[in-house]
Chains A and B, each alone.
Chain A
Amino acid sequence: MRTIQKLTFQLVAAAGILGMSACSKLDPKLGAPNQIAPTTSGGAPTPPSLAAVYEQLNSMSGNQGNWFAMQEHTTDIIMGPTRGTDWDDLGTWRRLHLHTWDGDHNQVRDTWNGLNGALFQTTLIAETATGATKAQGQFLRAFFRYITCDLYGQVQTRPATAPAKEIPAVLTRTEAIDAIIKELEECAPNLPVYNITNRRQATREAAWALLAKCYLNRAVYKQDPTKPAGPYTFQKADMDKVIQYANQIATNPLLQVDTYYWDNFTWDNGSKSSENIFVRHNGGDAVAGNGTGLRWTWSMGTHYNQVPDGWNGFVALSQFYDSFETPSPLPPTAAGWVPPPA
């Protein structure tokens, strides 16, 4: 009996030793450069730097695929041919050319993800920031919504305060165009005036230009989805808005129609062009963040066995090439690279 008592005492004492060991609360510990993102009083995550949101534009300007390919390979301007064992890439270019893509197509999916990532980030700024920062966030959200609506015919939206697992609501084309116009008209007065150096950022003129574009195409977006090919009914009120916003832009003397159109596309278009309103800068920018390299714009047109070497060897279709007047002002190239005027 004494043994059992002793044993019990020893067991209890030993259990005590175990119990004394300091318990961890298992709180996560982070290290630079990452931190736990704080939550605002409204329940939304604290928005990122505006520059980081501008960098979302890089998903469009970063490479020859995705947004660019969806716009161009689906037309006759660019085609990605397969040459025997070369460049099939699981049919990604062919499917764009033949219009046989679906939701599984890697570029259709990746572009969607990129644009929706941008919509998420711009929503954080547009809904939680104030003043000019909020206005820029609103402009950028409207811009990405416009691109998304143009490509996919629908736009996702979700409040900044919503939990991550919530599936976003969907705006139809009709709803989206109204939301885009509303947001642009709301933010335009709070944006800075265009002064050339800020053409990499959202300006009043950039908002007006996008508004003019929206109103110009409003009838298309408002079209009965069962008859997407038209005919469209363009409202006079919309056209008046187009004229109004275009005229507003024209009042800024720093913006002029270029006498030589191709100046908009030269490597030094930053100083040569007086027409570009909203651009992505190739290099660092304190406000608009880091841009992307543009090597793809010429590398995609040449092949890696060529000198100088390139990548995909994309081509233009002959009918398209031949559709240019003879003599054409310049040899057109799909890559956007244009030799300077003679």
Chain B
Amino acid sequence: MLQRLQRVILPVLMLMASLAGQAQNKTVTGRVTDARDNAPIAGASVVVKGSKTGTTTNADGSFTLSAPANALSLVISSVGYGTIEVAIGSNNKVQASLASETGSMTDVVVVGYGTRRVKDLTGSVARVGDRDFNKGQIATPDQMLQGRTPGVLVTPASGEPGAAATINIRGTGSISGAQEPLYVVDGVPLQQGGTLGSASGAEGGTTPKNPLMFLNPSDIESITVLKDASAAAIYGSRGANGVIIITTKAGRGGKKGQFDFNANTSIAQTARRYDLLSSEDFLVGAKKANIDGGADPLGAQEAVKAIDFGANTDWQDQIFRTAISNNYGLNWSYSNKGTTARLSGSYDNQNGIIKNTSLERMTARANLGQKLLNNKLKLETNLTYSNSKNSYAPITNNAGFQGSLLGVALKANPTAPVYNPDGSFFTSDGQRNAVQMLNYFTDNDNVNRFLGNFSAEYQIAKGLSYKAVLGLDQVESERISFADPRLPDGVYGIGDIGVFGVQINGSANAGNGRTTKQNLTSTSQLFEQYLTFDKSFGKHALNAVAGFSYQNFETKYTGKAGWGLNTAVGKPSDVFVKDFNNFKNYIDFVPGYSSNELQSVFGRVNYTFADKYYLTATVRSDGSSKFGANNKYGTFPALAAKWDVMEEGWAKNTLGKLFGTFALRANYGRLGSQDNLGAYAALNLQQVYSVRGGTPITRFIQQGNPDLKWEEVTTSGIGVDLTSKNGRFGLTFDYYDNMRENMLFFAPTPGGFAPTSYWWINLPGKVTNKGVELSLNVKAIDGPKFKWDLNYNMTTVNNSITGLPIQINTGEVSGQGLTGSFAQVLSNGSPIFSWYLPVFQGFDGNGIGRYENNSQNAISGSALPKYFAGLTNNFTYGRWYLSVFVNAITGHYVYNNTANAFFLKGSLKNARNVTYDVFNSNENPFNGNGPSTRFLEKGDFLRLSNLNLSYSFDVSRLKGVRSLSAYFSGQNLALWSRYSGIDPEVNVDKSINGIPSRGFDYTQFPRPRLLTFGVNVGF
């Protein structure tokens, strides 16, 4: 009854008020734009100060408002921007520019199962919005985040378009499998993986591409990083490595709707190349190496004659290219009353700087929202579908003596021609030809991913709502590769055992080609429901969430190899038909299947007293089907508190003289981890299968460990948030301390007396990460036309291992004569990924390496950076906007496995090309190449990673155009480092037995320098 009355009375009152006001009102007009690039802001709220009179801006940012004649100023705000107060000028015209949200304390942050105002946050949460993302050619969201926020270290695996990246939040603790944080996209926690490694037949393993390549970067509104237990505990079981919440853009733009179109073109080039010997110097060097190796000058002359093929080939030129890429995106956005809609599509064709490599991507997204039943019921759905097609070059992580594409090109004899006179590929001395590899290995994948959620939220009563969410994440990958029959079998082992992971019936059929096809389907379903209670009682404010979550994961793998052609392919002019069905014989790989479930109940209470004291208590209890019957459940609680000192009465005249904000935070909590654990590690398993056809036999393949339990991380931290009184300086400081124990680890089985040599256990010992984070925002110049602000962030990490029962080796070193070598160790008292190598002391008089302490291995630094920082400078001048971002990573060492495998005097003697460093060194050609600190280098660097210059055109005279801007972005524009390789920011996967490695450089796809030109049009 009361409600019905309200419905009648309220409009009447409003009408009366507006009528009453009509007589003495004035009309205020104006335009609201973005402070950075003067782009119009649609849907911004414009309210007369001290009243409820207000309106929202149109698509072009303009507004017309009828204000009381005595109104002096307007309060203007918009989601994602701050709030400002603007005086109404004498001509009743207002021009307002809003600053974007970074550092703004009025901002709303998406946390798990809800949102919080930044002001209300108790834990360590970092948000990066659209405006602060790295720009340019972006394949995956981690690239947008790299360096931009403290505590988050993003290390790409290579420079390949769509390459995987390792992301560590506040150091790293996981010593098995992936160390990835949990990704949550629009409320759906993503499954791991979904992309396939290579089975092309090129020697060695590969790292599958980045599973996040399915997201269209321009759909992303913000990325929130939950860094400590108090923030991440709501995702308890999966939050141990931190949580990254990606929120996509919702519909905005009013009832007329608005379109945005963007197009850009990128040019990618090698940032640096290896300084390899020319043909002439190569022959001189090879001759000298032969003489140094004991040959008489005449013999050396003969030896050099035999390796001089008369050409002058720059093999790096043969594999690298200048790559042009294009990206287009179109979206339509709409909002009216209870309806919001945003539809978007994008097309990317990103070409890599190595020939034949590309990522072609199409994405489509629909984000829809509808309020019903008097706005009590809110239905929302976010649907995205994407198709990515990758084309790969034969580059692997751990090729041996022969090398994969880059290694082959580096060591190739520069006097060797690419082709023979008859058009066939030139090969000599059992060496590979890089151009032949590029032409004769074909390796493509096709990944389809659908991610969707549907949610319904019903307001049961004021302050109490119920929400149910259904989510589906499905990835289908297919990777097909071909190896041409003309590949010389002695060099590639084609027709040999083991090439495709399957022995081809013992018969070596050289020269008949190979194909493999792999299929991987991963599906995850999510069901969640939770209650949210949000109410204030006087000075007390309570926000509570309680819910239930269920998610399942299923992965299916099949693979098949084919060999033998009906039509012989041998001559250069013959055509090798790349059709999987074109072969005579096929064999199946052992299929794979894995499925697991998670089920959780969770609750969180946020309590605030007088906007002064904030308390957050979170608990989540998780069950996983991976553990033994008695250990399925783990409970992960967390507690955080904040004291807003400025709210204290006494603070106004003390701290208030200096500070605008002064708040202290503290947190403590526990998180769990089980993502890296195999789905069936607790079980006894048998396999019923016939490897080569025939009667299936039963193999007892695993004795499980029923005692497995949750890996746990305990985090604690304290923090301070400060802003200066004038608001021009903002500082956030955090100290963190994480400790990981009961680590799930793939350890040797007791006595090896088991079906497998390794099994999963909870390893005794602890890994701790301690450090500080600092972020600083300064508005250096805040003039009407010229603005300069800068953001600095830095993180220190102090990592240490204690209590391990054994020392664990990892970090496989690859190359000729290096089988079985390793360079890294997990050892008590040292940081994770410590280098463990003989200490090189230079060459003796004979050019033979000398090593400390009888060549005993010694710990020599770690691959884990101790310090990393990012600095952004933003300049606005009228319609110009310039953003310059530099980042630095220091305190770590990189292993130059590329040099260890190829850049040796012995290589030169054996007619393999080397760098001028080797040419000039006094190394003896018979000096061994065992791993040592000779190849260990400091990884410190400073990089001009991202520069973005844009101009926003005045479109007031362009009919039908809402906004128009053009921009230029540069990525990896300059690098300052003493590292001798191409780039010290490297991380080739050299794991041993699933124990991860870090900081290896081994003939990976190099990081390019990228220049992007683009336009954005709004209409």
Q: Which residues of A contact B (CB under 8 A)?
A: 6-7, 10-11, 13-15, 17-18, 21, 23-24, 26-37, 39, 45-49, 51-52, 55, 82-92, 106, 110, 112-113, 116-117, 119-121, 124, 156, 158, 164-168, 282-284, 286, 289-290, 293, 295, 304-305, 307-309
Contacts and interface: CB of A to CB of B under 8 A. Distances in A.
28 contacts: A11-B533, A14-B460, A14-B466, A17-B466, A18-B530, A21-B550, A26-B623, A28-B680, A28-B682, A29-B625, A30-B685, A32-B593, A34-B701, A49-B699, A52-B700, A85-B904, A86-B816, A87-B817, A90-B822, A91-B930, A116-B754, A120-B753, A164-B750, A165-B705, A286-B694, A290-B692, A293-B497, A293-B506
B623 to A, nearest CB: 5
B756 A117 contact: yes
Say which size band chain B's interface belongs to.
35 or more
Interface string B909-942: 1100000000000000111111100000000000
Interface in B714-752: 748-752
The 4 A-B pairs of least Cβ separation, nearest first, read: A31-B593, A85-B906, A84-B906, A49-B697
Interface of B: 293, 401, 429-430, 460-461, 464, 466, 490, 496-497, 503, 506, 508, 527, 529-531, 533, 546-548, 550, 556, 590-591, 593-597, 599, 623-626, 632, 679-680, 682-689, 691-692, 694-701, 703-705, 707, 748-757, 759, 816-822, 904, 906-907, 909-910, 925-931
Nearest to A162: B753
Nearest to B590: A33
Given A30-B680, A33-B689, A36-B683, A309 B753 contact: no
A26 B691 CA distance: 31
Contacts of A47: 700
A18 B546 contact: yes
Residue of B508, B705, B928 with most partner-chain A CB within 10 A:
B928
Contacts of A166: 750
B688 A35 contact: yes
A45 B597 CA distance: 26
Contact of A304 (B401, B508, B755, B925): B401
Given A89-B820, A305-B430, A18 B547 contact: yes
Contacts of A308: 490
A85 B686 contact: no
A121 B755 contact: yes
A32 B689 CA distance: 9
Contacts of B550: 21, 24
Given A35-B686, A120-B753, 12 more contacts: A13-B460, A14-B466, A32-B593, A37-B686, A84-B926, A84-B928, A85-B928, A86-B906, A90-B821, A158-B753, A164-B754, A286-B694
A205 to B, nearest CB: 25
Most A CB within 10 A of own CB, among B401, B529, B752: B752
Contacts of B632: 26
B817 A289 contact: no
Contacts of B590: 33
A89 B819 contact: yes
Contacts of A6: 461
A34 B820 contact: no
A49 B698 contact: yes
Contact of A116 (B530, B699, B751, B927): B751
Contacts of A85: 816-817, 904, 906-907, 910, 927-929
Contacts of A113: 748, 752, 757
Nearest to A309: B490
Q: Which of B596, B623, B688, B699 has the most CB of A within 10 A?
A: B699
Given A34-B686, A37-B684, A305 B429 contact: yes
B909 A84 contact: yes
A217 to B, nearest CB: 25
Contact of B703 (A21, A29, A45, A286): A45
Contacts of B820: 89-90, 92, 106
Nearest to A299: B496
Contact of B818 (A88, A110, A165, A307): A88
Given A7-B461, A18-B531, A84 B430 contact: no
A11 B464 contact: yes
A168 B750 contact: yes
Contacts of B527: 21
B917 to A, nearest CB: 16
B750 A33 contact: no
A10 B625 contact: no
Contacts of A23: 599
A283 B692 CA distance: 10
Contact of A26 (B460, B546, B624, B751): B624
A88 B685 contact: no
Nearest to B429: A305
B692 A24 contact: no
A109 B957 CA distance: 79
B327 to A, nearest CB: 39
Contacts of B293: 84
A121 B748 CA distance: 17
A116 B697 contact: no
B685 to A, nearest CB: 5
B688 A168 contact: no
Contacts of A110: 757
Contact of A48 (B503, B700, B753, B930): B700
Nearest to B809: A104
A33 B703 CA distance: 16
A18 B682 CA distance: 30
B691 A88 contact: no
A106 B906 CA distance: 26
Contacts of B680: 28, 30, 34
Contacts of B705: 164-165
Contact of A90 (B686, B753, B818): B818
A241 to B, nearest CB: 30
Nearest to B550: A24
Contact of B430 (A52, A83, A87, A304): A304
A167 B929 CA distance: 39
Contacts of B707: 165
A25 to B, nearest CB: 9
Given A52-B698, A282-B506, A120 B755 contact: yes
A205 B160 CA distance: 61
B296 to A, nearest CB: 18
A31 B556 contact: yes
B913 to A, nearest CB: 14
Contacts of A31: 556, 593-595
A5 to B, nearest CB: 12
B624 A10 contact: no
A173 B893 CA distance: 48
B538 to A, nearest CB: 15
Nearest to B925: A84
Given A37-B700, A124-B700, A26 B625 contact: yes
A83 B816 CA distance: 11
B496 A295 contact: yes
B506 A14 contact: no
Contacts of B756: 117
A10 B465 CA distance: 10
A28 B625 contact: yes
